[in-house]
Structure formats: structure tokens, C-alpha cells
């Protein structure tokens, strides 16, 4: 993965618009957050292989960026996106890595299902 180039990421988001795509969306503080810091309120969310069709995808802001997808009757967005790549299966993988290299957020878009 590389550091996001917003213009390039915008072009990639455009290529997935208006077609059925599989989404992976994840936010996390890690399962140990409340163990290492007692009282920490640990929250996160995870969806994988949900199919949507978005009409507009946008990258916004300076790094860490926000990425939003406008659906016919709803929204998906992720904030904190720092890195991206298009892998060998033509999937657009975006994530937010903290300075230690720990993933805090991921948003991935694919025309084919992600593995389990």
C-alpha cells in the first residue's frame, strides 16, 4: 500500500461507481484496548461482502482523508484513510494506519466477493 494520492484515489473511486460492488468496512481500536488502558471505551464496527451500488464516491480533506459513497438511499463513509492500493484482483483497498502501523479503519471495494 502507498500513501493516498487524492486525485488518483478519486479516479479509482469513479471506476467503481454505478455498478454492484462488494464492500469491506471496518473500524477498530484493537481487542486489547481496554486491557492496556482500563476504562477505555472500546468501540468498532465491521461489515464484509455487503453488495451496494453507489452513484458517487468522493475522497475529501487532507490526509488522513475521508472517503464517502453516496448510495441511492443511504451512505457509507470512512474517516482516517491514509493508505491505498489496487491489488492483483483489481480490488480497491483503502485503510487508515496510525503512526505505529496499526490499522484503525479500512474501506475496500471489489467487483468480486472478498474471501470469507
Write the interaction track for other proteins spanning residues 59-98; mark x where CB under 8 A is met and - where it is not: ------------------------x-x-x---x-x-x-xx
- CA 34 to mean position of chain CA atoms: 24
- What is the size of the binding site for other proteins (CB under 8 A)? 29
Cis? peptide before 68, omega within 30° of 0: no
**What is d(CA 69, CA 18) in angstroms, rounded to the nearest whole number?**
11
- Give the residue, chosen from 5, 46, 47, 113, that forms a contact with other proteins under the rule CB under 8 A: 46
| First-residue to last-residue Cα distance in the chain | 22
Which residue has 467487483 as its cell numbers?
Answer: 111
Grid cell, residue 11, equals 479516479
Query: How far apart are CB 13 and other proteins at their closest, in Å?
Result: 17
Query: How far apart are CB 65 and other proteins at their closest, in Å?
Result: 16
Closer residue to other proteins (CB): 51 or 74: 51
| C-alpha neighbours within 13 Å on the C-beta side of residue 25 | 17
User: Where on the chain is the footprint of other proteins (CB under 8 A)?
Assistant: 1, 24, 26, 28, 30-32, 35, 38, 46, 83, 85, 87, 91, 93, 95, 97-104, 106, 108, 114-116
Amino acid at each position: 500500500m502507498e500513501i493516498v494520492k487524492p486525485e488518483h484515489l478519486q479516479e479509482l473511486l469513479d471506476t467503481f461507481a454505478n455498478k454492484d460492488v462488494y464492500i469491506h468496512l471496518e473500524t477498530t481500536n484493537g481487542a486489547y484496548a481496554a486491557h492496556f488502558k482500563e476504562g477505555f471505551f472500546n468501540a468498532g464496527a465491521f461489515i464484509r461482502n455487503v453488495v451496494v451500488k453507489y452513484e458517487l464516491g468522493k475522497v475529501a480533506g487532507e490526509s488522513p482523508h475521508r472517503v464517502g459513497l453516496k448510495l441511492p438511499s443511504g451512505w457509507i463513509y470512512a474517516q482516517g484513510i491514509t493508505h491505498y492500493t489496487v491489488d492483483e484482483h483489481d480490488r480497491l483497498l483503502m485503510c487508515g494506519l496510525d503512526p505505529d502501523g496499526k490499522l484503525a479503519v479500512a474501506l475496500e471495494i471489489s467487483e468480486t466477493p472478498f474471501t470469507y
